[in-house]
Amino acid sequence: MLFHSSIRKELARSFGATLVVLVTVVMTMTLIRTVGEASRGTFNPTDVLIIMGYTVLSDMPTILSMSMFIAILSVLTRMFRDSEMVIWFGSGRGLASLAKPLFRFAWPILVIILALAFFILPWAFGRIEDLRDKYEKRGDLARIEPGQFQESASGDRVFFIEKDSEGRQAGNNVFIATHEQGKETVTSARSGKVEVIGQDKFLTLENGQRLERTRGKQDLTVSVFERYGARVGADDQSVRSYVPSSSLGTLDLVQSPTPRHLAELSWRLGMGLAAFNFILIGIAASGVNPRVGRTANLGFAFMAFIVYFNMLVLGKSWVESGQVGFGVFLLSLHGGAFALAVLWLAKRHNNWTLSGPRRNRLANQEETRA
């Protein structure tokens, strides 16, 4: 049908434009947040763009749902405003008959949302956790930053180097403070370089001094050296011990139905169900009111989207804590939203009105006078 084809083309254009805007906004916000976390030592600064990409990819189900909802609501509202819906209604079709072309447009998006939520989202979260864990387990040499005090992976050493050269294999004005086996030592040197002795790496210091003090005692030992070697920790190659539920595969969540896993599963399944319900809500909420302006429906779209997804997050915490069952949460939230959307759409499709006793009495009086 020509009308179905034209509305799908307009929906595709609106969806594409909205998606580009939302992705740009999310990328900007994610970049700012990731740079802040990298500056605090959570991520490697060189991995900022990679982590931003994984984060945006994990947010794509939410972005796609919101883009589709805004596109449906804005296109149908424009059709009401330009009186195109009058032609549609005049042909004997109601508002509910728009569901068919809209679902024909939206079904690929729904499939992509489910695929992202069930497969791509845990993979992206897993890659982010791998990069975070790898950076936390880096060796002492990798932690050294010129002009900054850096703590070792074990937390018993603090390093400082004024400047380095030759790919961090040598530096000047080196400072090391250690706390080991009840002893506190402070070592400073004019220069230092990295040497490999056997299978271990040593930081060889030249022209410096070493202060040593035993805890609980007042004695202080001072030694001056021309050459001193300090063993530095290597990178920890162990496998990541902590595996958050967000990085587990969907099949693993199903096979191990603990409250934490069911909560994550409710979130992933909920994103697909919410996207489905947003199609019906968009049809039911479409319309135009000259008194409130053109942006009223977009404002409603943002509010409805925020409330729905906040309920998803809140329900996830409820399922994880055991306050609400997995099936009860899905049925109450998504089933309730579906029922309200269908009732709202049926009311507008059939032009149902709520008439009170006073209105019925006035209508009977007018009929009597006539």
pLDDT of amino acid 174:
79
Strands (E), the chain: 150-151, 157-165, 170-180, 183-197, 200-214, 220-232
CB atoms within 10 A of CB 82: 10
pLDDT of amino acid 335:
94
pLDDT of amino acid 334:
94
Residue 335 three-state SS: helix
Contact of 126 with 141, CB cutoff 8 Å: no
How much is the pTM?
0.76
Which portions of the chain are predicted below pLDDT 50? 370
pLDDT of amino acid 308:
92
Domain boundaries, the chain: 2-136+241-360, 140-232
Q: Counting Cβ atoms within 10 Å, is residue 176 exposed (0-12), middle (13-18) or buried (19+)?
A: buried
Q: Is 234 left (phi over 0), alpha (psi -120 to 50) or beta?
A: beta
Residue 283 CA to residue 342 CA, distance in Å, equals: 10
Say which DSSP state 237 is in.
Answer: -
pLDDT of amino acid 169:
62
pLDDT of amino acid 238:
58
* C-alpha radius of gyration, the chain, whole number: 32
- Token pair 């050459």 is found at 227
pLDDT of amino acid 243:
75
Closest-CA residue to 76 (of 302, 279, 312): 279
